Amino acid sequence: MHFTINGSVHEADPDIRASLLDLLREHVGLTGTKKGCDHGQCGACTILVNGRRINACLTLAVMHQDDDILTIEGIGSADALHPLQAAFVRHDGYQCGYCTPGQICSAVGMLDEVKKGWASHVSADLDSVTLDGLEISERMSGNLCRCSAYPNIVDAISEVASA
């Protein structure tokens, strides 16, 4: 099977029951995406598939052969940080760092949703979304941080959103 991951085609032959997370980590060697709960409750495995954020632990790899898969490794590099990565560093939004790849992938997807005008549960105006702290917190609620760096994560996302 072939998979387009971070703009490159990867050949792999995973078990048909393998999750997309297991494909990334065990067959392709991309270990930036973390395995947290393996039940879709923590968001550590959040990646982007066709521009939409998903929990990689909850979907089968075989379902994504023709999709565009983007992981933290494709978002930026040590030499060229994505603006969200740089903001997380400036605002200390990572502490232990385990949840950070999922947080950043989720934030990239979330900012795209806002750009498209998608409202959330807490959006006061369905026609014009204001990305305040409450809105960011709601949209990022699927990504848990055991270190409780939430204020710093919200600050980092706010900085990039307002740029």
In tens, the pLDDT along 141-156 reads: 999 999 999 999 999 9
How confident is the model over 113-136, as pLDDT tens digits? 999 999 999 998 888 888 999 999
Give the tens place of pLDDT for each residue, 77-123. 989 999 999 999 999 998 899 999 999 999 999 999 999 999 999 99
State the pLDDT at residue 127.
Answer: 87
The answer to whether residue 14 scores a pLDDT higher than 90 is: yes
pTM, two decimals, is 0.95
Mean pLDDT for all residues in the chain: 95
3-state secondary structure the chain: CEEEECCEEEECCCCCCCEHHHHHHHHCCCCCCCCCCCCCCCCCCEEEECCEEEEHHHCEHHHHCCCEEECHHHHCCCCCCCHHHHHHHHCCCCCCCCCHHHHHHHHHHHHHHHHCCCCCCCCCCCCCCCCCHHHHHHHCCCCCCCCCCHHHHHHHHHHHHHC
